[in-house]
A and B are shown apart, each in its own frame.
Chain A
């Protein structure tokens, strides 16, 4: 690589890293704790009761919706959601009649086997909820989430540029050489290089998926305003009769996709369905296929299937980003590994910052450092 190009890549690496470093440390600290959010929620008693006995039958969805209606008079069900990890958990979104969006309303959490209604605490009132909000949007809503997304992209560029400058720098040094006795700057450069290159793929994947998740509201809105609107636009007949039950809609949706399970159901008249159709979204049963969704439009008047569609690639990318960012798809050992990688990423960030703080300030200092680097290089090649 030409010296001028290498200098440009170094500049890119330096400034992208510096700009995102404070934010990255916040993400590392909050992410480190959030890796164990299930365990923390269990310890703090914030976990929902999703228990049921073996062989116990699920309650019909219509009776769960009835419980939600009874506890929220004046509100209508708009959305029913299911948790693939917790079969007993059902979430129902309730809002005023005629409201199409999901801005004003409330979620009701029910045990799908017992119908027990559980109060959902506002996120800020639980430790994990507080940390998640800090991690996702710095308590700054949509703007905060976009900011985090941009920081995520900077982190990805910083990682890639770090890899580019790693090669020329390590040309005459042995892999993993740590020169702790050569002063703070050299020691931190070596630490930064070893830990950075060893965890590079993990950092790249977590950074990229984090950026994708941060931009997910934009991606979902795009899908909703293009493909979903076009699908709904093909079926504009008005609703005249009484709608079928949500259970009938679920059955029609499942019949269109044998072997799948319900992910969520949108009632007619909201942003995710037409005025006359339920939109029944289904997912697979395995770890991988759980992230692959398909949609069935079910006529709310007849209970018949109207149309089916697969999710586009960009929605699948958002859905697959979840496990690759949270590290919750391989049991407790993977959570521990994820936590260790997060700690190392924090160390790489701090070491890189120390290298920048201790940089040579003058031309003389630069040439001295060059001589020192050359001398160290020789040592490294012997090591």
Chain B
């Protein structure tokens, strides 16, 4: 599998597993659902967190100090 599709396919598979599992049963199936569907959300959060531009202090504030 090419590098472009590796992560999207993994996230898609986990999402499918998550969506399908809670309809099958309760208990453990619910946990599989919550974890499977949380992974794409966690990946988005981590990517945003790591690459969010740092706040640059405004010149007036910097000058004030």
Q: Provide the B12-44 mask, 1 if CB < 8 A to any CB of A, else 0.
A: 100110010011111000100110011011011
CB pair B16 A344 closer than 8 Å: no
Shortest CB–CB separation between residue B26 and chain A, in angstroms? 7
Interface residues of A, count at CB 8 A: 34
CB distance from B48 to the nearest CB of A (A): 7
Chain B residues whose C-beta falls within 8 Å of the C-beta of A320 in the assembled complex: 23
Interface string of A312-350 (1 = CB under 8 A from B): 000000001001100001110110010011001000000
Taking a contact as CB atoms under 8 Å apart, the answer to whether B8 and A175 are in contact is yes
Main secondary structure of the interface of B (DSSP, over half): helix
- A10 vs B30: C-alpha distance when bound (angstroms): 38
In the complex, how many residue pairs between chain A and chain B have their CB atoms under 8 Å apart?
86
Residues from chain B with Cβ under 8 Å of A244 in the complex? none
Instruction: Give which listed residue, B16, B26, B40, B43, contacts A287 with CB less than 8 A.
Output: B26
| B47 cross-chain contacts in A, Cβ below 8 A | 176, 178, 194
Q: Is A22 an interface residue (CB 8 A)?
A: no
0/1 string, A144-170, CB within 8 A of B gives 1: 000000000000000000000011001
Given contacts A194-B44, A337-B37, A337-B38, contact A287 B19 (CB under 8 A): no
Determine if A181 is an interface residue (Cβ-Cβ < 8 Å). yes
B59 close to A (CB within 8 Å): no
Distance A69 CA – B47 CA, assembled complex (angstroms): 61
Roughly how many angstroms separate A202 CA and B4 CA in the complex, as a whole number? 20
Q: Which of A181, A198, A288 contacts B43 (CB 8 A)?
A: A198
> Which listed residue (A201, A333, A344) contacts B34, Cβ 8 A?
A333
Shortest C-beta distance, A164 to chain B (Å), equals: 12
Across the interface, B22 reaches (CB within 8 A) one of A171, A202, A329, namely A329
Complexed CA–CA distance, A198 and B18 (Å): 14
A residues adjacent to B (C-beta < 8 A): 166-167, 170-171, 175-178, 180-181, 194-195, 197-202, 205, 286-288, 320, 323-324, 329-331, 333-334, 337, 340-341, 344
A-B pairs, 3 with minimum CB distance: A330-B22, A201-B15, A176-B47
Q: Told that A177-B51, A199-B40 touch, could you supply 20 new A-B pairs with CB distance under 8 A? A: A175-B3, A176-B43, A194-B44, A197-B11, A198-B40, A198-B41, A200-B12, A201-B12, A201-B15, A287-B23, A287-B25, A287-B26, A288-B24, A324-B19, A330-B33, A330-B34, A334-B34, A334-B37, A341-B37, A341-B41
What are 6 sample pairs from A and B whose C-beta atoms fall under 8 A apart? A167-B4, A178-B51, A199-B15, A200-B11, A333-B30, A334-B22
